[in-house]
Structure 1
Amino acid sequence: MKSEHIPKATIGRLAVYIQVLENLLRDGVEVISSEKLARACSVNSSQIRKDLAYFGEFGVRGVGYYVQELISSIKESLGIDRAWNCALIGVGNLGTALLKHQDFARRGFHVKAAFDCDPDKIGKEITGMEIVCPTHLKERAPELGLEIGIITTPPDRAQRAANHLVEANIRGIINFAPARIQVPPHIPVEYVDFFDHLYSLAFQVSLGDNN
């Protein structure tokens, strides 16, 4: 069961749970108690139970959680038990790094097309993928089954990239560019701004300096 009323913080913690559980599975752990899982995820056990309760009943009383089963259940709940085809716009340093990041495909997110408006980049290949002008995104999207857009352009080009994605009927966008974009309300947008985290960290460190 999915609900739009599930807090974003819960979704974020579920992603952490998956990461921790996958590491446990690689270490040969098949069953884990809620207390041990909570410590590994840096939360309390009641928080884990509350987060999982949004999607159903998990775990066995007196036993704990079966790791593989819990991974599969969380992935199904989040909608990541299937492959998602992605388009990336902006093949600069960050875009290139993301294209080379092998964890994308391993986690079910397959970057099927790379776009850039720089004439010096168009036609070149990166990780075996030809860089194409974004004006061709609309025609490429249906044939490649593109559903998610990844924006890694400079800030002044982010809106134009978003417009191309909207015209191509992309269903959701993750924006790494340090700029806000305008899209129709039915298209969810997630922003990834490293400076948000740096500002937050600097504030926390400065609090320690003042104590």
Structure 2
Amino acid sequence: MSEFLKLQTTRRSIYALGKNVPFSTSALIELIERAITQTPSAFNSQTSRAVLLFGQESKDFWRHLTASALEKIMPADAFEQTKEKLAGFAAGIGTILFFEDQDVITTLEEKYPRYAENFKLWSEQSHGIALYATWLALAERGIGMSVQHYNPLVDVQVAEKYALPQSWRLRAQAPFGSIEAPAGEKGFMDRAERFKVFGD
């Protein structure tokens, strides 16, 4: 098995996160920024954006901002369990907020009308690649991560708190940190249900 395929196998959704990461904040920032910067995008549009939260900022995102938004819409008994889940995300060393810049998409739609209907889709593809590249980069260094989607519930609060451009659309939130417990077993569909091969 190639090193890349081994890395793909290593990458899992890790929910038991901690702060025992043997890398400085600056090293992690450089790693994450490089992974996103090198992500391919349609027309080299580079639509992906990211906000990196460390320390108290990451804790506050989960324990206060996200928790407050969820508490308003959830029954009290269900919220208690959710609060524990959020505390698990807050236990990591940081959180990456992934965005796609809608102004870039609009500009491309106007500049290339023949492809206009595709630019939003291509932006989502670029987002997925950026997220996956970051996930692999962290996994390669023994750092766990998971991907969460509390958008659009927290969109307004995030934009206001971090004074973000209106064109940045939140797509995912990724808490990361040391792996305090491994991921469980992962099942796979039968290959015949997923793949069709034709030709020699």
Asked if Structure 1 and Structure 2 have the same fold, meaning a TM-score greater than 0.5 normalized by the shorter chain, the answer is: no
Q: What TM-score results when the alignment is normalised by the length of structure 1?
A: 0.23
Higher CA-based Rg: 1
State the TM-score, normalized to the length of structure 2.
0.24
Q: Which has the higher helix share?
A: 2
Highest RCO, 1 vs 2 (Cα 8 Å, sep ≥ 6)? 2
